[in-house]
Structure 1
């Protein structure tokens, strides 16, 4: 109940409920009743809800209130709840407040030294906020206070440096932790492999994989997935395929994430035959694709107008328990309209409504316009009635325009206006005109039109004045 009230931001009601239970406990000597209701979890829930609501200071007050109760009133471990408080604040972006609260606690109690878990939480918070200097300062404080780092600490540091594209420093940390007798594991190695592959340093990434392979913990599926992702982003399908074969040979089963990196590559570069070949192979091997796999395939096939394959994949998608969602149904309707198969488009449109999916207004407009042009006004009216019964937005994209390819026309118009502006600005010496464009609330084309017209008018006026002065 506290969680539900906090989720709806009914914090006053949540406090009333909490205080009532505490009051009952104080009035009743039976500890077995309320003791299990108001626990550390109760306060943890309230702290997290305050943090998610962007209210860090009330979250801190919850911790201090729980701390003031003491163990006689409620089962609260102050150290655990303190870590929950810091974790909640850091995850919601309040790392500076969390760090300040740690400093304040140290000032109030000179003998108190933060635990390694506290340091790990705040370190992770600084790296997530991309505050490298703050993270490094905290790491130095940790070393000065002789708090022994753990593999989680080094994993946090390595992942943070990799996220900041400082992979060389991350690799130095692996050497440091080994000197301290801490054996690296997947938490440490995976971010390095991922960062090296992301940067296209495949030789170093493969070398790190081999170093990782001789350890007892060894690489994980995520390690191989990082390499597959990197090769696919680098357009190196051969390299990605080699990693996939290595992965299978070493006893790892590829996941949907593994295969979807391949399908993203095929969809991006229109490799239909390769994509369908891989899809057929994984189906034959007994693998069941996930929704994203089907989405990527249907997107690729729709873009290349391969309707027969779209229908085939859609049927197989339904057979595996995935119904077409808004995105896939929309792509199918648009493809059918493009191929002038309006009756089938209407069937799919009505099926979307039957399944409880509200079609996009753009899809509705395109379909009804095509139906009217094709002499199918009755069907267009039927769809209009169905659409009017559904709550939907009637906003259209700025690039949409009836009866034409607005996006191509818009690009052409912007290029023409830009050229006209360039020609006129060569003779204009008034930079204030550009600031007018920058501050304008008009759309880009209207702003360009207005700017060109203003400059042309001023230029024309200045030319007239010059001619007049030449002929007194």
Structure 2
């Protein structure tokens, strides 16, 4: 491996993996020092594609050598390089190692951005370690960084994975206050999850949040909510949703009418 020190470039020509030379064009690792990942998406993509195309054993070898050279101050690392390595570690389930690299980056006086935090939040979220996720999120806010839709996705699904759905709902409220656009897919995920936990009033609150965000609930979401109210004996609320659906231009389907008819029968309104 040849690592050349320069003011603006890091040149990596090959990686040796147990005697096998794996080509890694140095042009893929050109990076602009001092620029944030948010301003250098193309460099991030190029570097990531080149690095992750290597066998995992070769990536481990490269990462170890690279860090050793950084510690000797032979190679000036940048945010792109750190982010590529952190992302790969998180994808391999080595979140603790990624977090150590994150701290090494801060020790080198690099200011982490939202993307760097998102990698760790995603990694810990997949492992169900929500205390670490919460700590990272608060730390990010304290640094003055703005969460984005990706942050929202990882946090909401992370809490949902461990069954903390009301915490997920509270996060939606917080993200709206911060001006983060909530993806429609995330609303649908949370709505279905809350219905499965028989939380119809929480789902209704979620629908109101959707409207605030300019998202219109789908017929499927209304059907899920109607069934949820029916199962929890909220029959009047189930029936009132029909009018709301029609008002929004949604046409009830066979499933909708089946739940509505069942609700009327339970209320002994068979004449209707």
Task: Give the TM-score normalised by the residue count of structure 1.
Answer: 0.41
Is 1:195 matched with 2:49?
Answer: no
CA deviation map 1:147-192 (0-9, x unaligned): xxxxxxxx9xx8xxxxxxx98122xx55xx9xxxxxx733699458
- Name the counterpart of 1:168: 22
1:59-98 to 2 correspondences below 5 Å? none
3-state SS, counterpart of residue 22 of structure 2: helix
How many angstroms does 1:314 deviate by? 2.5
Instruction: Tell whether the 8 Å contact from 1:193 to 1:205 is kept in structure 2 after alignment.
Output: no
- Name the counterpart of 2:124: 266
How many angstroms does 1:233 deviate by? 1.6
In structure 2, distance between residues paired with 1:335 and 1:214: 51
3-state SS, counterpart of residue 340 of structure 1: coil
Structure 2 residue runs without a partner (length 5+) = 1-10, 14-19, 32-42, 260-272
Question: Whose radius of gyration is greater, 1 or 2?
Answer: 1
3-state SS, counterpart of residue 214 of structure 1: coil
| Alignment counterpart, residue 208 of structure 1, candidates 66, 69, 75 | 66
CA deviation map 1:82-136 (0-9, x unaligned): xxxxxxxxxxxxxxxxxxxxxxxxxxxxxxxxxxxxxxxxxxxxxxxxxxxxxxx
- Name the counterpart of 1:31: none
Residues 334 and 367 from structure 1, CA distance in 2 versus in 1: closer, same or farther, beyond 3 angstroms? same
Residues 256 and 248 from structure 1, CA distance in 2 versus in 1: closer, same or farther, beyond 3 angstroms? same
- Name the counterpart of 2:30: 185
- Name the counterpart of 1:321: 179
Higher relative contact order (CA 8 A, sep 6+): 2
Residues 198 and 227 from structure 1, CA distance in 2 versus in 1: closer, same or farther, beyond 3 angstroms? farther
- Name the counterpart of 1:377: 235
Structure 1 residue runs without a partner (length 5+) = 1-154, 159-165, 178-183, 397-401, 404-472
Instruction: Tell whether the 8 Å contact from 1:352 to 1:359 is kept in structure 2 after alignment.
Output: yes
3-state SS, counterpart of residue 168 of structure 1: strand
Task: Give the TM-score normalised by the residue count of structure 2.
Answer: 0.67
Residues 195 and 337 from structure 1, CA distance in 2 versus in 1: closer, same or farther, beyond 3 angstroms? closer
Residues 302 and 238 from structure 1, CA distance in 2 versus in 1: closer, same or farther, beyond 3 angstroms? closer
3-state SS, counterpart of residue 63 of structure 2: helix
Residues 226 and 238 from structure 1, CA distance in 2 versus in 1: closer, same or farther, beyond 3 angstroms? same
1:165-314 to 2 correspondences below 5 Å? 168-170=22-24, 174=26, 185-186=30-31, 190=47, 194-195=51-52, 199-200=56-57, 201-208=59-66, 211=69, 214=74, 218-314=76-172
- Name the counterpart of 2:39: none
In structure 2, distance between residues paired with 1:312 and 1:258: 24
Instruction: Tell whether the 8 Å contact from 2:173 to 2:209 is kept in structure 1 after alignment.
Output: no
In structure 2, distance between residues paired with 1:358 and 1:341: 20
Instruction: Tell whether the 8 Å contact from 2:87 to 2:119 is kept in structure 1 after alignment.
Output: yes
How many angstroms does 1:242 deviate by? 1.7
Instruction: Tell whether the 8 Å contact from 1:197 to 1:226 is kept in structure 2 after alignment.
Output: no
- Name the counterpart of 2:226: 368
Instruction: Tell whether the 8 Å contact from 1:197 to 1:227 is kept in structure 2 after alignment.
Output: no
How many angstroms does 1:257 deviate by? 1.7
More helix by share: 1
In structure 2, distance between residues paired with 1:376 and 1:306: 23
How many angstroms does 1:224 deviate by? 0.3
Instruction: Tell whether the 8 Å contact from 1:336 to 1:344 is kept in structure 2 after alignment.
Output: yes
Residues 245 and 197 from structure 1, CA distance in 2 versus in 1: closer, same or farther, beyond 3 angstroms? farther
Instruction: Tell whether the 8 Å contact from 1:198 to 1:230 is kept in structure 2 after alignment.
Output: no
